[in-house]
Amino acid sequence: MRISKYILLSAVPFLLAGCLDTELLGNTLTSKEKSEAVEDNPDRLEASVNAVTSAFSQYQAIRSAHSDFGYPTIMLHLESRGVDMVSDNIGYNWFNFSLTYDNIDYTYGNDREIWGTLYNQIKAANAVCATVDSATTDSKLQYYLAQALAIRAFDYFNLIQIYQKTYSQVDPTKAAGVPIITEKNADEASKSGCARGTVAQSYDQILSDLNRAIALLDASGVKRADKRYVDSSVAHAIRARVNLVMNRWNDAAADAQYVIQNSGCTPKSLNETGVPSFNSLSESDWLWGIKIEETDRVVTSGIVNWPSHMGSLCYGYATVGAWRRINKKLYNSIPATDKRKTWFCDENAKSAGLTEAQQAYLDGQGAVPYTQVKFAPYKGTVGNSTNANDIPLIRIEEMYYILAEAQAMGGNPSQGNQTLVNFVRTYRDPSFNSTASTAAAVQEAVFPQRRVEFCGEGITWFDYIRLNKDFDRRGGGFETNTCFDIHAGDNALIWRIPYNEIQYNAKISESDNNPVPTPPTPVQDEE
Nearest to 369 by CA among 393, 344, 352, 389: 344
Q: How confident is the model at residue 13 (pLDDT cuts 50, 70, 90)?
A: very low
Q: How confident is the model at residue 380 (pLDDT cuts 50, 70, 90)?
A: very high
* Interval 67-71 mean pLDDT: 98
pLDDT at 19 over 50: no
Nearest to 378 by CA among 296, 455, 273, 323: 296
Nearest to 87 by CA among 373, 479, 450, 464: 479
Task: Give me the amino acid identity at 262.
Answer: N
Q: How confident is the model at residue 37 (pLDDT cuts 50, 70, 90)?
A: low
- The whole-model pTM stands at 0.94
DSSP H helical ranges for 347-429: 356-365, 396-409, 413-427
Q: Provide, rounded to the nearest whole percent, the portion of the chain with pLDDT above 70.
A: 93
Q: Assign 137 to helix, strand or coil.
A: coil
Nearest to 15 by CA among 119, 166, 131, 160: 119
Per residue in 94-114, pLDDT (tens digit) is 999 999 999 999 999 999 999
Give the model's pLDDT for residue 527.
73
Q: How confident is the model at residue 21 (pLDDT cuts 50, 70, 90)?
A: very low
* Interval 128-145 mean pLDDT: 96
Nearest to 169 by CA among 380, 378, 492, 465: 465
Residues 51, 23: contact at Cβ < 8 Å?
no
pLDDT at 11 over 50: no
* Interval 208-231 mean pLDDT: 98
The residue among 18 and 311 whose pLDDT is bigger is: 311
Q: How far apart are CA 72 and CA 91, in angstroms?
A: 20
Residues 518, 491: contact at Cβ < 8 Å?
yes
List of residues 6+ apart from 518 with CB closer than 8 A? 491, 492
- Crossing angle (nearest 10°) for helices 109-131 and 31-40: 70
Beta strands in 24-180 (DSSP E): 85-86, 176-179
Q: How far apart are CA 131 and CA 35, in angstroms?
A: 5
List of residues 6+ apart from 204 with CB closer than 8 A? none
* Interval 435-457 mean pLDDT: 98
Nearest to 380 by CA among 275, 306, 259: 275
C-beta atoms surrounding 282 within 10 Å? 10
Per residue in 162-208, pLDDT (tens digit) is 999 999 999 999 999 999 999 999 999 999 999 999 999 999 999 99
